[in-house]
Structure 1
Amino acid sequence: MTAERVRWPLTLALCGGYFLVLLDVTVVNIALPQIGSDLHADGSGLAWTVDAYAVPLAALLLGSGAIGDRLGHRRVALLGLAGFGVASVLCALAPTIGVLIAARAMQGTGAALMLPGTLALLVANARDENARNRLVGVWAATGGAALPAGPVIGGLLVQAAGWRAVFWLSVPVVVLALIPVLGLARSRATTPGSNTVDWGGAALLVTGLACLVSAIIEAPRLPWLAVSLGTIAAGVACWFVVVERRARYPLLRIPHGARRALAAACAVSGVMNLCVLGGLFLLTQLFQNVRGLSPVAAGFATLPAMLPLPLLGAAAGRLIARIGVWRGSALGLMVSAVGFAGIAVMITGGGSVLLLCSLAVWGAGLAILTPAIVAAALHAVPDSPGAASGASNTSRQTGGALGVALFAALAGPATGTSFTAHACALFLAAAVTFAVLGVLCGVGSRYLPERSASPDLPSPTMVRTKRINS
């Protein structure tokens, strides 16, 4: 038996785990109307169904890589997989919205522990450099397929077997993934004794983000609680900064000269996911509660927005290499702004074809923006791609969690008479925000790191490989 045949079950297992992590970011959205009806959940309960997963995923990503380095990626990936599987069972059996939210938080924690290990183990078990690059390419393509697959798979499962089937789906995948990972030899820390985990910083990050999201979600119902939680979040944020400055091994180490460019890239990344995932949260309810589409039809209706990301990836990469990362970000933001504005106009009573075209424009802009702004973060800290990638991923996941909370709080329940009008206003606000950011990125291209195509420009595969080896 060849080594390649021996490794393919492990490749499927690790890529399957990565697919599940990203799938659960979007697959639940289609199930929200049924969850609300079955478990008698209001708008804040549905928002927490999404954000209970997103908050630990965002807050623990920076620390989970260090945990894997310290304890061994095999052990941490197994813990993440097992926790994700158990949490999926609890989600599927949840009798109340409170139990479902708690199980979703457990799912998000398992996902955060699992995610860095999937790539680390995949690369560590490649037989040579060529095989390593191929495996990283497969891993990245798997992630690209998860976003458009989420609403469609969710729609099919919800319509065929109800919302609980969305969570049962993960159980057999996790069981099959555990087998080849268990067969791996025990892994050690990459540099024993030096990868100290900043437990205090990680705990503060989770606490601060949870308080901030809670403040946003509960603001319409309990303003006094929102103010209290917001104050706590601000205090925790200040404490986090102090702790990180004093920590011997902080969660994120960025050279002083690179902080401005990286902060700009992370800010755009965060706002991007804030508007995108917040908008997707509203769209799936608009399609089902307002327009009366079935779960399957609602899932397929989102495809024009989701498909451009994997389909236009190669072309977007070539365009960005030609015009530069910040000009590429500006272009992607402007195109997405047009799509947001079109969606806002069409959801108030426009034709379905024009709405789908607006979704496609929105998705095309994101297909340009996403690789451009990730590359901008990497260019800001070219000698530390792991730190840049960690900061970018964390800002995107944090923005997504805040976006769901903010859009849910401002739009109100989908059954309310003003839901469509509020959703329209939010999409218009997103269009204006993207347009303003587009102008700022265009202006910023004169002052921030901007590299065009060159022989030494690292490809995404090279960057990910370097991150694992560093």
Structure 2
Amino acid sequence: MDRSSIIKVIALMVTGFGIGIDFTGALMLVPAIENSFDADITSTQWVLNIYALFFAMTMVAGGRMGDMFGHRKMMLIGLSIFLFSSVMCFFSPSLDFLIGARALQGIGAGCVWPCTLAFGATRVSRPEHRAMIMGLILAGVTSGNVFGPLISGAAVNYGDWRLFFLANVVFSTISMLTALFLMQREKQHKKGEHIDFAGMAVLSIAVLLLLYGLDVGEDWGWTSVPLLSLVFVSATLFFLFPKVEKRVKEPLLLPQMMQNREFRITLGLNMFNVSAAFVGLLYFPQYMQKVLGWSTLQSALGLAPLTVLLAVGSIVSGTLYNDFGPKRLLFWGYLIATTGAVSVVVLPAGLGYFQILPGMAMIGLGATLTVGPSGTAAVCAVKPERAGLVGGLSFMTHLVYGAISVACATAIMYVVSLRSLAKQLASAGVNMSDADQKAINGSTLSTKSARAVMEKLSAAEGEMVKSAIAAAFDTGMNMAFVFAALSVSVGVVLAMMLNEEKLHKVEA
């Protein structure tokens, strides 16, 4: 590549790095955000989920609009949204405001990411350099995934979790400047493109209602009429989604693709591989902080066995795909990830960090063998001209199911840990109201509500409560990983069902 192309690739890598740090870095902030806004895990999980959902649902539209109006223009629009929303995150006066800002960040990232890939693939250099360029952009993202927790850990250790979002401001500003001065405008755009806004709206509302139902289930009552009504509306919208897709001009899911057995299987393989990784990224840092008493920065370093494997694996998985084939990679990857999730459940809490270390390593290795290959397999299952659509669709499925997995796991974790806490307090002879138990459940005891509860207790009772909270959190986390293990194990079955010969035949 010439010097100009190298500079452009570096600029695209910086853009990818900024997106990469935002996703994993925000995970480390959950306990600090809980303390800042006096919230519990069922509320703070939205900081992750709302970003993943809006990122996923915007990505296909962002790519299409890039084709229609220019990838450089959409990159600049997306980066402007991302920059503005990062400033909003920094100044957030409440948790609801922060969640709204994170949703806006997801929209910005959803515009930037597909256009970054498209620009790298079509505008930077000659076709023979395309694979290398895409690999370098991906390396920028995965490097961000590794450094994100370290940056957020340093921000919290420095005194304020909000400082993390200044990193977003810095990298999005650099990316905007490089796009302005280094990326040339496209003079030709695709004509006659259509965006499936109806399908995206139906699917987004269905997922949002489901996530909200899982959030408020414990407060409203799992069998209450309002909650059952919410779930019914969500289920109805999921049922209507394929019917809406049949009526729009260019649906997200083309009917002829859904008639392709191998494509349906590979779409499922893109979904279930995220359960253990997403649940682990959320709960491993919290375990290290809330049970082991580690700082945010120590927890970021402790998470390295998972994040480093995810980063390295995404780069080398392409070579593994060619050498071993998708069926073998996906089967063993899903099996290893399932074993990793099970290990978290069966290893005793007395092991401390070593209770989760094998699970982190195996979940990271399992994701290495499944995330990239499942996306490649999905693209191989359809016509070459549908590769871009399917690439975005597989990643969208990946993120949406990741958000659903986190919400399900969090609902399970919260209910189980609350029951466990009540049982242990009763056994210890500590009398505490249901409201007070909810205030301290899964807490670091640094929130305003938790401190008010602890002030009512004697020193001896306080120590018993701290032990009960840690044990309850571990019990709840274990049940969250039972859900993750069951979810990931579906991928083992799907991998065995995959027919490689049909997969690599061009779609009729």
TM normalised by structure 2 equals: 0.82
Aligned letter for 1:75? K
TM-superposed deviation, 1:19: 2.3
Residue among 134, 137, 142 paired with 1:136: 134
In structure 2, the partner of 1:393 is 395
Is 54-63 or 378-387 further displaced after alignment?
Answer: 378-387
In structure 2, the partner of 1:460 is none
In structure 2, the partner of 1:466 is none
Measure the CA separation in 1 of the matches of 2:133 and 2:318: 20
Residue among 418, 434, 440 paired with 2:488: 434
Cα pair 1:28 1:154 within 8 Å, conserved: yes
Query: Residues 336 and 159 (structure 1 numbering): CA distance in 2 closer, same or farther, change over 3 Å?
Result: same
Aligned letter for 2:478? C
TM-superposed deviation, 1:90: 0.6
In structure 1, the partner of 2:364 is 363
Deviations 1:157-201 (A, max 9, x none): 221242101111111111111112123443356322x11222222
Secondary structure of the corresponding residue to residue 349 of structure 1: helix
In structure 2, the partner of 1:352 is 353
In structure 1, the partner of 2:421 is none
Which structure 2 residues correspond to residues 53-92 of structure 1 after superposition, within 5 A?
A: 53-92=51-90
Query: Residues 312 and 18 (structure 1 numbering): CA distance in 2 closer, same or farther, change over 3 Å?
Result: closer
Cα pair 2:8 2:124 within 8 Å, conserved: no
Cα pair 1:43 1:414 within 8 Å, conserved: yes
Query: Residues 393 and 257 (structure 1 numbering): CA distance in 2 closer, same or farther, change over 3 Å?
Result: closer
Cα pair 1:275 1:430 within 8 Å, conserved: yes
TM-superposed deviation, 1:424: 0.8
Measure the CA separation in 2 of the matches of 1:10 and 1:316: 25
In structure 2, the partner of 1:292 is 293
TM-superposed deviation, 1:113: 1.0
Measure the CA separation in 2 of the matches of 1:403 and 1:429: 8
TM-superposed deviation, 1:347: 6.3
Cα pair 1:327 1:445 within 8 Å, conserved: no
Measure the CA separation in 2 of the matches of 1:173 and 1:312: 24
In structure 1, the partner of 2:253 is 252
Is 287-296 or 217-226 further displaced after alignment?
Answer: 217-226
Secondary structure of the corresponding residue to residue 100 of structure 2: helix
Is 242-251 or 253-262 further displaced after alignment?
Answer: 253-262
| 1:402 partnered with 2:404 | yes
In structure 2, the partner of 1:26 is 24
Query: Residues 410 and 354 (structure 1 numbering): CA distance in 2 closer, same or farther, change over 3 Å?
Result: closer
Cα pair 1:335 1:362 within 8 Å, conserved: yes
Deviations 1:256-297 (A, max 9, x none): 475322222222322221332123211111110111011111
Secondary structure of the corresponding residue to residue 143 of structure 1: helix
Measure the CA separation in 2 of the matches of 1:51 and 1:163: 18
In structure 2, the partner of 1:414 is 442
Measure the CA separation in 2 of the matches of 1:319 and 1:73: 31
Cα pair 1:348 1:424 within 8 Å, conserved: no
Measure the CA separation in 1 of the matches of 2:140 and 2:226: 41
Measure the CA separation in 2 of the matches of 1:133 and 1:433: 32
Residue among 33, 42, 45 paired with 2:43: 45
TM-superposed deviation, 1:153: 2.5
Secondary structure of the corresponding residue to residue 338 of structure 1: helix
Cα pair 1:278 1:405 within 8 Å, conserved: no
Measure the CA separation in 1 of the matches of 2:82 and 2:151: 19
In structure 1, the partner of 2:265 is 264
Cα pair 2:72 2:179 within 8 Å, conserved: yes
Deviations 1:128-174 (A, max 9, x none): 22344432221121123232222222222221242101111111111
Cα pair 1:74 1:117 within 8 Å, conserved: yes
TM-superposed deviation, 1:91: 0.4
Secondary structure of the corresponding residue to residue 29 of structure 2: helix
Deviations 1:329-381 (A, max 9, x none): 11111111221122223462224346323321221122112223222212221
Is 334-343 or 123-132 further displaced after alignment?
Answer: 123-132
In structure 2, the partner of 1:463 is none
TM-superposed deviation, 1:8: 4.4
Aligned letter for 1:379? C
Deviations 1:40-97 (A, max 9, x none): 1122221111112111111222222112112222221111100001100110111111
Residue among 477, 492, 504 paired with 1:423: 477
Secondary structure of the corresponding residue to residue 187 of structure 1: coil
Cα pair 1:274 1:400 within 8 Å, conserved: yes
Is 325-334 or 243-252 further displaced after alignment?
Answer: 243-252
TM-superposed deviation, 1:427: 1.4
In structure 2, the partner of 1:464 is none
- Identity of aligned pairs, percent? 25
Is 232-241 or 27-36 further displaced after alignment?
Answer: 232-241
In structure 2, the partner of 1:235 is 236
Aligned letter for 1:421? T
Secondary structure of the corresponding residue to residue 246 of structure 2: helix
Is 133-142 or 282-291 further displaced after alignment?
Answer: 133-142
TM normalised by structure 1 equals: 0.88
Measure the CA separation in 2 of the matches of 1:13 and 1:316: 24
Measure the CA separation in 2 of the matches of 1:6 and 1:314: 24
Higher gyration radius (CA) = 2
Aligned letter for 1:407? A
Aligned letter for 1:401? A
Secondary structure of the corresponding residue to residue 23 of structure 2: helix
Secondary structure of the corresponding residue to residue 249 of structure 1: coil
TM-superposed deviation, 1:312: 4.2
Which structure 2 residues correspond to residues 170-209 of structure 1 after superposition, within 5 A?
A: 170-183=168-181, 184-188=183-187, 190-192=189-191, 194-209=192-207
In structure 2, the partner of 1:324 is 325
Query: Residues 164 and 176 (structure 1 numbering): CA distance in 2 closer, same or farther, change over 3 Å?
Result: same
Deviations 1:432-456 (A, max 9, x none): 44345314422x14587455xxxx9
Is 386-395 or 254-263 further displaced after alignment?
Answer: 254-263
Query: Mind listing any 5+ residue stretches in structure 2 that lack a counterpart?
Result: 415-440, 444-468
Cα pair 2:246 2:255 within 8 Å, conserved: no
Secondary structure of the corresponding residue to residue 69 of structure 1: helix
Coordinate RMSD, CA, aligned? 2.5
